[in-house]
Amino acid sequence: MAKFVLVIANKAYSSWSMRGWLALKATGAPFDEVVIPLDRPETRERILRYSPAAKVPVLVDGDVSIWESLAIGEYLAERFPAAHLWPEDAKARALARAVSAEMHAGFMSLRRAMPMNCRVSYPPRPIKDPELAADIARIEALWADCRARFGAGGPYLFGRYSLADAMFAPVVTRFTTYQVPVGAGTAAYMKAIHAHPHVAEWLAEARAETERIEKYEAPPP
C-alpha cells in the first residue's frame, strides 16, 4: 500500500485541514504531510496540483485524490473498518453523519465572525449578532443531544471518539479562541477535545508555525 499523502494548509488557520488530518490520524496509518500556506500568490496553483476544487484538505492515496473533508472521512472509514471512525450503532452512526453534514454545510455566521486562529485567545466580547448567537446555541444543543443519547461510553459526542468529533474539533478551538460563554456540558466536552492527543498534537504544531497571515491575526471588528 502506498503511503498516504495529506495536503493541508497552515495548522493555525485551516479548520478544514484540521478535520481531514484528525480523521487520518484516527486510522493510525502513516502519512506524509504537504503543507501549502494560505494566501500566497502561488497557493491556488499549488493546491490545484492535487485537487481540481483548489481547496485543502486533499487525501492522496496512490493514484486517487480525495477532496472535501467529509468524503475523506468516509473513505478512511471504509478503508479502516477496524478503526471504527463512525459509531458502531446504526442509529448513533446516522446521527453522527447528520451532525457532521450539518457542520460541513452550515454555521456560516460562526465561520464568518470567528475565523480559526487556534494559537491565540481573545478577550470575551458580547455576542450581539443574532445569527451568530443562533449558530452557537444550535451547536451547544446538538452536542448536548448527541452526548445525552449516545455519549454514555466516554467523553465524546458518541462516547468513543469519532469522525463527528473531528468535524467539530475546530469549533471547539474557535470557542476557546473567542472565549465564547458556554454551559457546563459544553465546557466538559471542550475539555475532552483539547485533551485528545491528536488535537493536542495539532495545536502544538500550530503554535510552532512561524508564518503569520495578517488577516487571520486580528479578530474581526
Ligand X SMILES: N[C@@H](CCC(=O)N[C@@H](CS)C(=O)NCC(=O)O)C(=O)O
Residue 38 CB, shortest distance to ligand X, in Å, is 5
Task: Examine residue 65 and tell whether it contacts ligand X (CB under 6 A).
Answer: no
Contact set for ligand X, span 122-141 (CB under 6 A)? none
174 makes contact with ligand X (CB under 6 A): no
Query: How is the beta sheet containing 58-61 ordered, strand by strand?
Result: 31-35, 4-8, 58-61, 64-67
Contact between 68 and ligand X per CB under 6 A: yes
Q: Supply the Cα-derived Rg of the chain in whole angstroms.
A: 17
Residue 55 binds ligand X, judged by CB under 6 A: yes
Half-sphere exposure of 178 (CA within 13 A, CB side): 24
| Backbone φ and ψ of 61, nearest 5° | -120, 90
Q: Is it true that the peptide bond before 57 is cis, omega within 30 degrees of 0?
A: yes
Cell numbers for 23:
480523521
- From the list 12-20, 160-168, 176-184, 194-202, the region that binds ligand X by CB under 6 A is 12-20
Q: Whose Cβ is closer to ligand X: residue 20's or residue 87's?
A: 20
Nearer to ligand X, 104 or 138 (CB): 104
Of residues 14, 6, 55, the one with CA closest to residue 173? 14
Report the nearest approach of ligand X to the CB of residue 104 (Å). 6
Cα distances (angstroms) measured from residue 4 to each of 14, 24, 132, 152, 181 = 20, 9, 37, 34, 39
Among 69, 117, 162, 176, which residue sits at the site for ligand X (rule: CB under 6 A)?
Answer: 69
| Residue 38 near ligand X by CB under 6 A | yes
Closer CB to ligand X, 18 or 139, in the complex:
18
Q: Is 10 in the site for ligand X (CB under 6 A)?
A: no
**Residue with Cβ nearer ligand X (25 or 147):** 25
Q: Which three cell numbers stand for residue 93?
A: 452512526
Sign of CA pseudo-dihedral 61, 64, 67, 72: negative
84 is a contact residue toward ligand X (CB under 6 A)? no
The yes or no reply on residue 111 touching ligand X (CB under 6 A) is no
Which parts of this chain interact with ligand X (CB under 6 A)? 9, 14-17, 38, 43-44, 55-57, 68-69, 104
